[in-house]
Chains A and B, each alone.
Chain A
Amino acid sequence: MTDRALAVVRAGALTTVQDRGRPGHAHLGVPRSGALDRPAADLVNRLVGNPPETAVLETTLNGCAVRPRSTVTVAVAGAPCRVTVDGRPAAWGAPVRVPGGALLDVGPAVSGVRAYVGVSGGIAVEPVLGSRSTDLLSGLGPPPLADGTVLSLGRPAAVHARVDVAPQAAPPDELVLRVTLGPRDGWFTPEAVRTFVSRAYRVSSASNRIGLRTEGPALERARPGELPSEGMVLGAVQVPPDGRPVVFLADHPTTGGYPVIAVVRAADLPAAAQAAPGTPVRFVAVRRR
């Protein structure tokens, strides 16, 4: 192994390698996967001079710590957190030079859930179907980071970015998700559909990269029985038998058997990735454009 590598000192609760995922393979049962907060992943790549499809680290709640073997430029964005290099405070949301052998520590999220760590050259694990993303549902891509893991890095771009700092949306105090109803809203009572788009839900601690689970009023079905398996899209709001809506995120299954009452607009999903357990959620019905 060359010195273009990162040693994982503290893997954190769940840190995975993510890029833009592997769309186009759903017919083989392969989820799309990819960074949940794509604007944040794009930003850290931009800050360190990587192309947008470069693989980054996605942390969950309590960050991670890594030690590069040679000097690299890193950037941390997404969930706001304390960043240190060998114990000294470093910038969040801006490029930071980390000397070889120094310890980069990405602290717990002050707000939000997922921080993104971009490294000049990018994380160079072996791609699977064109993507380096860890897919927690189907087990494709590299396993989640463990203490002691060593990750190879790619070659940095010859030309460095000229961005010093970039504005970012703050993680939401209340998550407002715009939805278009259907395709299976007819499987619910009219009262349940009204409840869905008018009452408050909360983000459940059972949420993960597969789905944002919610707690709140149960949605009553108008039609009993089973729905045959059908294809699912990113942002589909599926309602399992307990009646609590689940918003499908990047590692969602490709087919499912529970009715989808609505679909969340793609533009609202990055905020869903940063909504901590307990955050209030409102689903707002909008017309198709």
Chain B
Amino acid sequence: MNVLLVGEDALLVEVSSGDEAQALHAELLRRRAEGSLSAREIVPAARTVLLDGLDTPARLAAELTAADLPPAPPRAGHVVEIPVRYDGPDLADVAAHWGVPEHEVARIHGDTEFRVAFCGFAPGFGYLTGLPPRYDVPRRATPRTAVPAGSVALAGPYTGVYPRSSPGGWQLIGTTDAVLWDHARVPAALLSPGTRVRFVPEAGS
């Protein structure tokens, strides 16, 4: 674990894998919940967790550097199910990358339990991990200027669902009617870091 000072009141904690980042995030949330850590923002990302709004960042940095990270807690909580039609325009390209027939993409993707590693890019956009590394896919060479809301997409090791229409370079494999972000709902985000997710193929797709 490598702890970097960020500005006056933030820390960036670097770990060596996405799984470690998720475990560290869970541990930091636990400490904040029990009152032993005070931080305005705890932001997990691919290999890091950012702690912002700290009173004594240098002291916490020393403490974290000396600490052993507990292993990731067992996967708790309910599983959010997202119904999908596997009808995306990049389904054939993804099938070719994976070396499987198109219908196998839906089966492999639908059989995987995902977990939200982190959020970003847009409110409610989660970076979901769970597919084995052999299913990594590159981003499209030319990003689309508008990806429709509800598109289920792949890039690198991640799966994501576009909460609203936006430009994007991910490979689109399907669509969902699930509402990823609704600020009138509590919570507004369907997915937050740590959430377990399953994609359920809709009948006929």
Contact = CB atoms under 8 A, between A and B. Distances in A.
Interface of A: 23-30, 128-129, 138-140, 180, 182-183, 228-233, 235-236, 253-255, 260, 263-266, 288-289
B164 A139 contact: yes
Nearest to A180: B7
B120 interface: yes
B5 interface: yes
29 contacts: A23-B40, A23-B41, A23-B53, A25-B123, A27-B41, A27-B43, A28-B119, A28-B123, A28-B124, A138-B123, A140-B123, A180-B8, A182-B5, A182-B6, A183-B12, A229-B120, A230-B45, A230-B48, A231-B12, A231-B45, A231-B48, A233-B7, A233-B50, A233-B52, A236-B6, A254-B43, A255-B120, A265-B8, A266-B7
Nearest to A260: B6
B118 interface: yes
B46 A228 contact: yes
A230 B48 CA distance: 6
Chain A interface, DSSP helix/strand/loop, else mixed: loop
A230 B52 contact: no
Given A28-B123, A140-B183, A228 B8 contact: no
Given A27-B118, A183-B12, 6 more contacts: A27-B193, A129-B188, A182-B6, A183-B5, A229-B46, A229-B118
B39 to A, nearest CB: 10
Contacts of A230: 12, 45-48, 50
Contacts, number: 108
Nearest to B117: A229
Nearest to A32: B41
Nearest to A179: B7
Given A28-B123, A233-B10, A255 B188 contact: no
A228 B41 contact: no
Contacts of B4: 182-183
B41 A231 contact: yes
A138 B52 contact: no
A264 B119 CA distance: 24
Contacts of A266: 7-8
Q: Taking each of B41, B44, B164, which has the highest tally of chain A beta carbons within 10 Å of its own beta carbon?
A: B41
Contact of B121 (A29, A180, A263): A29
A235 B8 CA distance: 11
B5 to A, nearest CB: 6
B123 A27 contact: no
B47 A29 contact: no
Nearest to A181: B5
Contacts of B125: 29
Contacts of B58: 288
Given A27-B43, A28-B189, A29-B123, A128 B183 contact: yes
Given A231-B12, A254-B119, A289-B8, A24 B41 contact: yes
A139 B165 CA distance: 11
